[in-house]
């Protein structure tokens, strides 16, 4: 399964890549440890959000393969169920 057609995933990965490039640059410049740690936290958050999005995309894709189109009431129940994933 390819997630290359999901522009939101690519956008988030590029954001994480930019944050990581900033970390590398900051370390090379000998910047303050606190500033570097803050930027590293931005990398971690960006990757965590991307991982969550990728997992949900994967589940949705394969759930759709198994079940086919879902009635609106089932879609609402699944949407409510997905809410808990923000705590992963």
Q: How many domains does the chain have?
A: 1
Whichever domain contains 81, its CATH number is: 1.20.58.1000
Per-residue pLDDT tens digits for 3-46: 657 889 999 999 999 999 999 999 999 999 999 999 999 999 99
* 2 is a domain residue: no
* 27 is a domain residue: yes
Task: Convert the chain into a string of H (helix), E (strand) and C (coil).
Answer: CCCCCCHHHHHHHHHHHHHHHHHHHHHHCCCCHHHHHHHHHHHHHHHHHHHHHHHHHHHHHHHHHHHCCCCHHHHHHHHHHHHHHHHC
pTM tops 0.85, yes or no: no
């Amino acid at each position: 399964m390819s997630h290359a057609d999901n522009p939101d995933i690519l956008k988030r990965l590029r954001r994480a890549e930019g944050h990581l490039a900033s970390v590398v640059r900051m370390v090379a410049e000998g910047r303050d440890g606190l500033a570097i740690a803050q930027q590293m936290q931005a990398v971690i958050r960006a990757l965590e959000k991307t991982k969550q999005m990728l997992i949900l995309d994967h589940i949705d894709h394969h759930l759709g393969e198994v079940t086919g189109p879902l009635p609106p009431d089932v879609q609402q129940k699944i949407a409510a169920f997905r809410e808990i994933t923000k705590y992963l």
